[in-house]
Chains A and B, each alone.
Chain A
């Protein structure tokens, strides 16, 4: 049996899991191989140390926090379902877009040019609205005139004159 093979049998040897045959072979090898014997001794030391390893006690505050997790989850779920959840994301998106545009405007080095452009567009818009209003008024007047003339022509028709008599 070579050392590499014995190395793999040392752990089961310590746990008493080897067959009688394998155990005898390992023991014979250990008598002649100081390296494997030393490794076995280190393995024993390692497993003993691991068995004695500490169990760190849990902090009572952490335990308290763990108990509170389901309650916190309930509160969170309730609050979000009733008021927030459906609206939250679109509102957040709209607010983000608004603030991006606002910051683009406020921190732009050509802020004056933007102001002028906005003013120009606003004035142009006012002018267009005024013209539109005038057009609507004249259209309303012409519609009224046409209605009057139509009523007058209807009244002058023969059928109404006869029934009037």
Chain B
């Protein structure tokens, strides 16, 4: 069943991309509506998961371009609610949480295509080949986008740390 197999994945992608839970819920509904409408166009010889994720990615980026929701702030990063990082060293854990928060906040500064590539590669842990299929781009372009995205995020992190230490 489509909802059981794909709703969590689509919602996660929408949430990580938009940074807002409310926005992600609306987007997930719209994507499923589009999905039901487009099922007749699905070529059965192709990979269903990749097809659904391509549709999701297209919809998210299109909506982003139409509404420019990057101007809206992302939800507060709730470390207790979402964090899976519980190391024995509380101080180290705190630093990690702080880093995650800074990256989460800086995520909207990435261009949508780069943000999507980083989400697929580094958050969702997909292989480069899978990402190339979903993004419908050559492998080399995907690798270069991942590289650019990571460097941008690292620089944002540096900037935020310097700002914090300067205060």
Contact = CB atoms under 8 A, between A and B. Distances in A.
Interface of A: 7-8, 10-12, 38-39, 42-43, 45-59, 62-63, 65-67, 69-70, 73
Contacts of B81: 54
Q: 6 closest Cβ contacts across the A-B interface? A: A54-B82, A50-B122, A42-B154, A11-B147, A58-B11, A53-B123
A71 B147 CA distance: 44
B109 interface: no
Contacts, number: 96
Given A50-B153, A69-B33, A70-B36, 13 more contacts: A10-B147, A12-B143, A38-B158, A39-B155, A43-B151, A50-B123, A52-B83, A53-B122, A55-B12, A56-B11, A56-B82, A66-B3, A73-B36
Contact of B7 (A11, A38, A63, A73): A63
A159 B119 CA distance: 111
A39 B156 CA distance: 11
B119 to A, nearest CB: 9
Interface in B89-140: 96, 99-100, 103-104, 118, 122-123, 125
